[in-house]
Each structure stands twice: as C-alpha cells, then as structure tokens.
Amino acid sequence: MEPVHKLSAREKICFGLGDSSANIFLGMTMMFLPYFYTDVLGISAAAMGLLFVIARLVDAFYDPFIGNVADRLQTRHGHYRPWLLWLAVPYGLSCLLVFLAPDFSPTGKLVYAYATYLFLILMYASTVVPYVALLSALTSDPQERLAANAWRFPLAKMSFLICSVTVPMFVAWYGKDNEAQAYMVAMSMIAVLATAMMLSCFFGTKERVKPASLASNVSFKQQLRISLSARPVVIFYIFKITSSIAFVIKGSATIYFVKYFLGRSDGFVSGLLSATAIAGIIAPMIALQLIKRKKVSALGTLKLAQAGGCIAALALFFVSPDNIWLAVALLVVSVLLAEIGAITAWALPSECADYCERKSGLKMSGFIAAGTLFTMKIGLAIAGGLVGFILSMSGYHAGVAITPEILKGIIFLIAGVPAIFHGISVVLLMFFNLDDSQAAQAPVSQPHQPGIH
C-alpha cells in the first residue's frame, strides 16, 4: 500500500486561500465587469459580447500551453507552486486595470478594454492552471483532497461575501458623483487582497507527490490523445462547458435583473450578493454531510445540484417584479445548489488525472487542470457572448429607457439560458462512468524526493 499524506489544517487553509484569491478575482469580474463596461466605460453591449468571446477563446487556447509548461517545470519549489509566487503581483494588477475608465475616444476605450481584459485573463490562467493542478501534488489521498476542497470553498465564499458586500456599497456611497473613481478605489483594495491570498497559498503549501513518470518528455499531442481517449475526461470537459455557461450567465445577469426588472438599488444588490455568498459558505457543509452519511454519492450530489438549478431557473420565469422576496429566494437557492455541486465537481480534475495516470503511467495533472480551465473558459466565452448579444438584441444600451423587450431579454438571460444548460449538464452526468470506487483507487504516484519544497 503506497503511503499517503494527511494535510494539516494550516495547509488546507493556505490552499483554500489560493481559491479565495481566484474566486474574488473571477467573481468581481463576472458580477461587475459587464455592468462596468456598458454603464461606466460606455462600451455597447454588442461590442462587449464580442470582446468576451474573442478574449476568452484566446484564454481557452492558452490554458493547455500553461498546463503543459507547468508539468514540465521542475524547481526546488515543485512544479506548480512557483507560478503563484512569480505572478502574484501582475495577477493582482490586472484585476485593477480592467476597472479603470480612462478619458479616451470610443475607439480608444474599446482598445483599452481589449488590452487590459486580455492581460487579466492571461494572468488569471497563468496562476489558476497551476493552482488547480497543485491539489494532486499535495497528497495522493482522494479523501484528503475532498477535505481540502471542504476548506477551500467556505474560505473562497467568505472572501467573496466580504467583497460582494463592500464593492456595491462603496460604489453607491462614493460613486454618486463619480462612479468610475469609486470602482477604481474599490478594485485597488480587491487587487491587494487577491495578491496577498495567492502569496499565502504559495508559502503555506508543499508539493509532495512525485509521479511515476513525469510528462516532461511527452508531446502536447500525446497528452491530448491520452486525455481525449478517456471517456470520463471527455464527459467532464463537456460538463464544464455547459455548467460554466449556466453559472456565469446567472452571475452576469444578476445586476441587470435586480436593477431593471426588480427596480432595486445598488444597496439591494449588495444584500442579495451577501445572501448568495452565505449560501456558498453553507453549501460545502451540506455536501460533505450528504456524502459522509452515504445519503447520496458525490456524483449523485452533483447530478441533484444541476437538476435543482434547472428547476430554480425555470421558476424565475413566473416571478413578477412585485414578488421580490420570491426572486431573492430562488436566486439564493440556485447559488446554494450550484455550490453544493461545485465541491464535488472541482475534485474531479485530480481524479481524472489519476485515471489517466493509471491508464498511461504518465502524470498529467497540469494538462488535465489546463483542459478543465480550457473547457471552463469556452463556457465563459459563450456565456459572455450570450450576455452581450441578448442584451443588444433586446435593445439595451446604457442610459436608454427600459422597455418590455429589454425586460424579456433580461429574464431570458437569468432564467431561460441557465435552465437549458443545467438540463444539458444533468444529461451529461448520466454518462459519467468514473464512480467513487474508481476515484478511491490508489494512484501510481509517489512522494516527492527531498529538496522539493
């Protein structure tokens, strides 16, 4: 029986802070950037949608490159941790730059948006791809990986809770006369926090698991062939596309839904985001209890969460602007279900990597992590495009009077699109055949040799 390493609470917390950083980073851009681009910077919804599609497709194809490089990299700090140290500062800076509104011409603003958004997503990928792969290098025990995720998600959501409360309140308070300046100050603080958390992840974790055979001498084409010949990996990749579309569309449409359909202020947005963040903190506890008590398998939990998300999204079609608290309840339940599923979904890249290693004898954690983020970014690209294009087709422009057609477009964004893609996700999971017993098989990997810190 091969030795496994039990992670300390300190290391689990430090690992979780890496996801806190990534969650804040992605959450702030997902929640606030579409509104910032259309209503503060002054970019049209159609131009914003095209920007998201182009930039995220570039990002998606960049992910496998970073994963391949991370797998090949060998330093005294390991394969994956060094990226968190090297790129923490530019990573934080990129989060600030996208929320600046320079006094340029319309064309100049669009060029600035492209340049800074591309910089942001490349910095995000260059840190998060190695971060996702890091879990498989901390321990080879699937239960310890699940336990690490159990710390990771509440920490991430508590951080997101703080930011989701403070940013809208700060903008509402200080942004009455200059909304652009308020966003700049708020995101400066977010950038510092995200950088500090990523550095904490680097200093507080240690890579131990050494693969039986590193993929350093294996070509990208060979790794791609190995991963795509594994049915569980392919299904998981497609699932990441569909589930990401559902999740991101809901997040991006929330501000438009609250502000224009429900007719509520930024303060109400802050309260709603706080409630959804609290749901995200509670969700992992519920998921772990269901799994530990054998009420339902990890995969079953993920299926139920996606099915529930589909039902909650469909229910939003029947909510009127007067039923504010019903709308809030459905949005919070939707987030709760999404986060319950996330704790199992984000454990799957490591298990898929172990599956490929058992089949091929090659360690491909970085490549699988990159593939996971590649497919997630494809979902983000589609979601970003849909947000911009549906708003544009409904007639939405910053400052324009809200018409019934615009409201229909907003409702379709927050209810119809997520329901469709949650439903597709459930169907995909019905064919996912990497069950809990397979995931628990001992992988081929060994502890790292001394000198890898």
Domain that holds residue 305: 15-205+220-437
Q: Is residue 61 part of a domain?
A: yes
DSSP state string for 191-240: HHHHHHHHHHHHHH----EEPSSBGGGS-HHHHHHHHHT-HHHHHHHHHH
Cβ-based neighbours of 229, under 8 Å, separated by 6 or more: none
Q: Is residue 211 part of a domain?
A: no
Q: Is residue 452 part of a domain?
A: no
Locate 349 and state its tokens. 């890249």
What CATH number is given to the structural domain containing 292?
1.20.1250.20
Q: Is residue 429 part of a domain?
A: yes
Q: Going along 18-110, which residue ranges are E strands? A: none
Report which secondary-structure segment, H or E, holds 21.
helix 9-35
Cα distances (Å, whole numbers) of residue 248 to 66, 304, 334: 23, 19, 12
pTM: 0.72
- The answer to whether residues 31 and 254 touch, using CB atoms and an 8 Å cutoff, is yes
Report which secondary-structure segment, H or E, holds 422.
helix 417-429
Q: Is residue 368 part of a domain?
A: yes
- 330: phi > 0 → left, psi -120 to 50 → alpha, else beta; which? alpha
Report which secondary-structure segment, H or E, holds 69.
helix 45-72
- The answer to whether residues 288 and 145 touch, using CB atoms and an 8 Å cutoff, is no
Q: What is the pLDDT along the chain (453 residues), one digit of tens a residue?
A: 445 678 888 999 999 999 999 888 877 887 889 989 998 999 998 999 899 889 888 887 887 788 778 877 788 888 899 999 999 999 999 999 999 999 999 999 999 999 999 999 899 989 988 998 888 888 887 778 777 877 877 787 778 777 777 888 888 888 777 889 999 999 999 999 999 999 999 999 998 877 555 545 667 788 888 888 888 899 999 999 999 999 889 888 888 888 888 888 766 777 787 787 788 778 777 877 776 666 567 778 888 899 999 999 999 988 888 888 999 899 889 888 887 887 778 777 877 888 888 888 777 777 887 788 788 878 988 998 898 889 999 998 877 788 999 999 999 999 999 999 999 999 999 988 775 444 444 333 333 322 322
For the chain, how many structural domains are there in total?
1
Cα distances (Å, whole numbers) of residue 417 to 244, 246, 250, 345: 12, 7, 9, 21
Q: Is residue 448 part of a domain?
A: no
- The answer to whether residues 210 and 78 touch, using CB atoms and an 8 Å cutoff, is no
Locate 80 and state its tokens. 């994956």
Q: Is residue 407 part of a domain?
A: yes
Q: Is residue 99 part of a domain?
A: yes
Locate 110 and state its tokens. 């669009």
